Amino acid sequence: MIPEKVKRVLDGVGLAAVEFGEGTTPTAPMAAAALGVEVGQIAKSLLFKGKDERFYMVLCPGDRRVTNAKLKAAVGVKTRMATPER
């Protein structure tokens, strides 16, 4: 669910967010195809958990990768992809 505040901010700059149902777009290419655009035209959000127990969300173009080394340089701690608790 996209928070109303986020929708207002995006609307204010002429952008829109699209939310897909859980499990419907597991990859950036699939999400881009569902929208009928190139992969580089979408943004993906990735959630990481740092060794400091804090969470870090990265937004990047759909055709780019996030490297652990660059993320560590940016946030100052080693991170790993966050996964839901089971």
Give the Cα separation of 5 and 8 in Å (integer): 5
Q: How confident is the model at residue 83 (pLDDT cuts 50, 70, 90)?
A: confident
**Residue 41: its pLDDT value, please?**
93
pTM of the model: 0.69
Domains and CATH numbers, the chain: 4-81 (3.90.960.10)
Q: Over the stretch 62-72, which tens digit does the pLDDT of each residue have?
A: 999 999 899 99
**According to the 3-state scheme, what is the secondary structure of 8-26?**
HHHHHCCCCCCCCCCCCCC
Number of H-type helices and E-type strands within the chain = 3, 3
> CB-based contacts of 32: which residues, under 8 Å, 6+ apart?
38, 39, 41, 42, 62
